[in-house]
Amino acid sequence: MSELTDRSVVIRIRGLRTRLGGRVLHDNLDLDVFRGEVLGVVGGSGSGKSVLLRSIVGLQQPTSGTIEVLGQNLADLDGDALIRMQIRWGVLFQDGALFGDQTVAENVQIPLREHTDLPQRLMDEIASVKLSMVGLPPDASGKYPAELSGGMRKRAGLARALALDPEILFLDEPTAGLDPISAAQFDTLVRELQQSLHLTVFMVTHDIDTLRATTDRIAVLVDSKITIGTIATLRDNANPWIHEYFAGVRGRAALTA
């Protein structure tokens, strides 16, 4: 992975506690995400990985604790201030979250229409550039999501997440549902975009191959707590779930690949 040259913190979480449906998902979590890194977030089913992402982007209200993004406490932001913060990040949800009644180009232009007053001609050009950046052919722009493969829908969703040139990119299970070849290609794309655009990437995933291919550090959610490391260090962790995940057959294969 790339060496982190800027250790400034772009996401700072302190004392985060999240309780949903009578269950405590996060219990006094502390986490720092550094500028320019790819942080992978992994955990068992129901461990609160996606809830953590949604809490950071303001879609889930934690029970207590603080979340600071780019030096600002999200709890202190509302109205225009919150909008100005939100346009500094892009989000790719697991299913791509594309609108089926709009073309791919129109989907990519949604953030532009919401947050800018650019003329249509320029929005068309930006959409074309973003789609090219994620590896989609020019003829994809006029198609509807239902006409695309799963991998192409992921790429279209990624193009939309990049429409406003964000500083932070949030990815929720970006390779879920993809075949191994498409998943590996998407991993490579994410790493190349992160490096060329100098992005900070916060990525929820269950795929250890994706963790190996893309991440600088890994945050593991187990028993409502968080543990930080790499595949190499986490495989020796004393927690049974962490040890089995990283030192099991797939973990050993990822480490030696």
pLDDT at res. 21:
84
Is the per-residue pLDDT at 257 higher than 80?
A: no
pLDDT at res. 139? 94
Q: Is the pLDDT of residue 55 over 70?
A: yes
Task: Give domain 36-54+80-256's CATH superfamily.
Answer: P-loop containing nucleotide triphosphate hydrolases (3.40.50.300)
Mean pLDDT of 99-111: 96
Q: State pLDDT tens for residues 41-51.
A: 999 888 999 99
Domain ranges of the chain: 36-54+80-256
Tens of pLDDT, residue by residue over 113-140, are 999 999 999 999 999 999 999 999 999 9
The predicted model gives 230-249 an average pLDDT of: 89
What's the pLDDT at 94?
78
Mean pLDDT of the chain: 92
pLDDT beyond 50 at 4: no
The pLDDT, as a whole number, for residue 251 is: 56
What percent of the chain stands above pLDDT 70? 94
Whether 85 shows a pLDDT value over 70: the answer reads yes
- Considering only 65-79, 159-173, 240-254, which range has the smallest mean pLDDT? 240-254
Q: What is the DSSP string of the chain?
A: --------EEEEEEEEEEEETTEEEEEEEEEEEETT-EEEEEESTTSSHHHHHHHHTTSS--SEEEEEETTEEGGG--HHHHHHHHTTEEEE-TT----TTS-HHHHHTHHHHHH----HHHHHHHHHHHHHHTT--GGGTTS-GGGS-HHHHHHHHHHHHTTT--SEEEEESTTTT--HHHHHHHHHHHHHHHHHHT-EEEEE---HHHHHHH-SEEEEEETTEEEEE-HHHHTT-SSHHHHHHHHSHHHHHHHH-
What digits encode the pLDDT tens for the residues 183-228?
999 999 999 999 999 999 999 999 999 999 999 999 999 999 999 9
Predicted local confidence at residue 6, as pLDDT: 55
pLDDT for 5: 44
